[in-house]
């Protein structure tokens, strides 16, 4: 027969219950004092720099220039040898009537097309080429060249400063191509020949 007394019941209920409550309190104390294992727990808090500090970093940190020759050597030619940026090392003297080939940007071909042109007029600061197959009024072309020398060229210098002169071709003349250029590629042209390592992508 199973019997128990009130005293036994009280001891049974209070003894183990008190021990469990005491053990739980000790567990909480130990857990609170023990550092969290690596990779667990709250991450470390890093103080962000102030806006003033960020502004100072942006204005004082030196940024390297965008060197297109170094990028071409490293990513296209895959060489550590530097590319000579100069096409000519002596000033050229292009005579009126000479013909050269221009590389004109063309989105449809995802590259360039070649267009021959003839030098019809030369001034102190510009060459005026006309694409083969195009007819021009020489009087109008001379008037345009005079406007360029007397107004456009000095105005651009006054507003924006001088261009890089004599430039990679060691020539102080600006080349003006009169011909067909796709509307989306205005200004993208090159008077050939290209340097051996700087040919257009085809």
What is the number of domains present in the chain?
Answer: 1
Predicted structure pTM score: 0.55
Range of the domain at 96: 68-191
Kindly report the average pLDDT of the chain as a whole number. Answer: 75
pLDDT for residue 91: 86
Tell which residue, 153, 166, 164, 149, has the closest CA to residue 92: 166
Q: Domain for residue 41, yes or no?
A: no
40-72 confidence digits (pLDDT tens): 556 677 788 888 888 888 889 888 788 888 888
Average pLDDT over residues 162-188: 78
28-45 confidence digits (pLDDT tens): 444 444 454 555 556 677
Q: Tokens 């296209």 appear where?
A: 76
Q: Domain for residue 59, yes or no?
A: no
Q: Domain for residue 145, yes or no?
A: yes
């Amino acid at each position: 027969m199973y019997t128990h007394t009130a005293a036994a019941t009280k001891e049974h209920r209070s003894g183990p219950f008190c021990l469990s409550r005491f053990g739980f309190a000790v567990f909480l104390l130990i857990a609170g004092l023990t550092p969290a294992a690596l990779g667990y727990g709250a991450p470390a808090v890093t103080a962000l720099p102030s806006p003033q500090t960020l502004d100072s970093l942006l204005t004082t940190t030196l940024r390297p220039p965008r060197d297109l020759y170094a990028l071409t050597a490293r990513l296209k030619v895959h060489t550590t040898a530097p590319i000579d940026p100069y096409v000519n090392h002596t000033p050229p003297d292009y005579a009126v009537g000479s013909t050269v080939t221009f590389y004109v940007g063309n989105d449809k071909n995802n590259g360039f097309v070649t267009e021959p042109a003839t030098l019809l007029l030369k001034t102190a600061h510009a060459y005026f080429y006309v694409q083969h197959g195009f007819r021009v009024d020489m009087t109008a072309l001379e008037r345009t060249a005079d406007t360029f020398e007397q107004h456009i060229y000095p105005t651009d210098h006054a507003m924006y400063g001088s261009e890089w002169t004599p430039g990679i071709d060691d020539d102080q003349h600006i080349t003006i191509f009169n011909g067909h250029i796709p509307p989306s590629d205005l200004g993208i042209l090159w008077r050939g020949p290209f340097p051996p390592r700087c040919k257009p992508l085809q």
